Structure 1
């Protein structure tokens, strides 16, 4: 059975109690609209300021039930394998005991399994297809669809799509509070759940990679999602107001700048994850730039990577989204297989990310 919000928080407590030397519970400062506190579990044997880190997000969208369970499952697998000095196997994706030790001794993994606990609770008890958080409806708005914000359109990256994109860019977001799927919120980072993710990045500059686990396409995405990638014209970028009327259209000769080296790193790491997924049971998720799925604004992965470009003191964070499985709420037997795919992908990333990123 899928974990509910209370069980997710209990699992975080229990994993820390069982492995106090390799974990730390981190409590973000912003309670949700319904008063819940969603916590992170740091997994790693080294002090937080000594080694690089990966931030793993799940449960951003309420109806996507697999990702929170996948992150709790992976944390438990890694901690048990490290404690017992054993390897891990997910289908034909096999990781040795020394590799498990390498992950926990050379990295910190910040597990944030349920970013949107209000939404998950509502989805699991009242409306299974609910996607947003549970921000109260604006004054004067009526109807159940007027509640909530799509958290993965609420980050401070080209958030105001009506001003920042071409009118015919067809950005997959909305400024209408009663949009049942992709309402972006009243302001960038208006939501406590969004601010908790920002807080985690702000307060842990060792984080160099972010993976936001979603469902269901499936595909593994790397930066950017706002426009097609290009590595030729540095001035064509999200900070350039001259692109506000034209940004986001396909094949128009204008794209979002990303240095070739960074693009190569993003693609290589995404392919490493996909190789690990495919080895579990032969399912090929595929790899693409996020724009290849559809144009977006205000997403976690692009926000994470954009930070070092707007603030030179910020850490460069490579952003990824794993869209796992092919349905939001598969029967739990199938969910367990998808959890193995996600787990294999994330262990592969943890093993390869420092090598690939720091070797160039």
Structure 2
């Protein structure tokens, strides 16, 4: 059975109680529209100030039930193996006790299993296919029905958020400024949602975070920056800060793309490849790797926001962003979910062991 919101929070408390020397519970500052607080579990034996960090998100989209369970399971696996001095195995992908120790002692893993607890609770009790958070419907939109509530949190970040102004009209960017869009309403302003601001808070208050992974379902694929346009490494001025591109950004098959330094792109692809190799070793499933734009053009997403920060704020940490789209359905039977959880766990550990 999938974990509900209360069970996820209980698991975080219990893991910290059992492994206090290797964990810390972090409480973000913003409660949700329905008054919930969803916490993070930092795993690592050293101070977060002394090591590099990976922020791993789950449950951003309410109907995607597997990712929160996967992050709880990964935390439990990793902490138990470290405590017992054993390795971990997921199919033919395996990690030695020394590698487990390396992750615990050499990194800070910030697990945020359920970013959107209101949405998950609603999906699990009222409308299984609900995707957004539970922001109340704006005044004047109540006639539109239940879909006028909620914001797609993964379109709410401050990265090219205003798609109507920042993209070509025919770019087909997958977001919406319509509060009654049942799936992809971007919200009334960038970072308007408390859940979004909690992720921003995690990045702001933990400058050690150099990688962000947002776990979703279900394609499957492993995505890296950028999602706004095709990647290009030769024209630094063609970037998300350039207003001259606002009328043309996001179109396919033109000569314009989003700048990414060659070394960053090379690193992003290499690390994604390690994750995909680990997934494949679990039971032979090949997720594949591509830039997020290859799926469809997006704005306001967590992975692009995380990476964009160091371009706009020189003091910000460079944080490579990834989205893992796991499995092939939002709520598979739990027996299948357990296989997908192993794939996600294998991938995240591969990332942790290959970053430097």
Aligned to 1:219: 221
Find the aligned partners of 1:141 and 1:304 in 2 and give their Cα distance: 32
1:159 aligns with 2:161: yes
Match of 2:178 in 1: 176
Q: Normalized against structure 2, the TM-score is what?
A: 0.99
Q: Distance in 1 between matches of 2:299 and 2:228?
A: 6
Per-residue CA distance 1:95-142 (angstroms, 9 max, x = gap): 000000000000000000000000000000000000000000000112
**Structure 2: how far apart are the matches of 1:109 and 1:103?**
8
Indicate whether 1:311 and 2:319 are aligned.
Answer: no
Structure 2 counterpart of 1:187: 189
What does residue 358 of structure 1 align with?
A: none
Deviation track 1:140-187 (CA, whole Å, cap 9, x = no partner) reads 112100000000000000000000000000000000000000000000
Does residue 333 in structure 1 map to residue 335 in structure 2? yes
Task: Find the aligned partners of 2:165 and 2:305 in 1 and give their Cα distance.
Answer: 17
Q: Distance in 2 between matches of 1:185 and 1:159?
A: 9
DSSP-derived class of the 1:175 partner: coil
C-alpha distance in 2 between matches for 1:288 and 1:306: 18
Q: Distance in 2 between matches of 1:184 and 1:108?
A: 31
* Separation in 2, partners of 1:140, 1:19: 50
Could you tell me how far 1:251 is from its partner in structure 2? 1.4
SS in 2 for 1:234: coil
Query: 1:106 is matched with which residue?
Result: 106
The count of residues paired between Structure 1 and Structure 2 equals 354
SS at match of 1:48: coil
Is 1:259 aligned to 2:261, yes or no?
yes
Q: Runs (4+) of structure 1 moved beyond 3 Å?
A: none
- The equivalent of 2:241 in structure 1 is 239
Distance 2:195 2:26 in 1: 14
- State the TM-score, normalized to the length of structure 1: 0.98
Separation (CA, whole Å) in 1 of partners of 2:350 and 2:287: 15
Q: Deviations over 1:60-113 (max 9, x none)?
A: 000000000000000000000000000000000100000000000000000000
Quote the offset at 1:48 in angstroms.
1.0
SS, match of residue 35 in structure 1: coil
1:48-127 correspondence runs (5 A): 48-127=48-127
* CA–CA separation in structure 1 for the residues paired with 2:323 and 2:140: 36
User: Which structure 1 segments of 5+ residues have no match?
Assistant: 355-360
**SS in structure 2 of the partner of residue 335 of structure 1:** helix
User: Unaligned 5+ residue runs, structure 2?
Assistant: none
The offset of 1:353, in angstroms, is 1.1
Matching residue within 294, 301, 304 for 2:303: 301
CA distance in 1, matches of 2:25, 2:123: 26
- Alpha-carbon distance between aligned partners in 2 of 1:218 and 1:137, rounded to the nearest angstrom: 32
What do residues 25-55 of structure 1 show as CA deviations (whole Å, max 9, x unaligned)?
Answer: 0000000000000000000001110000000
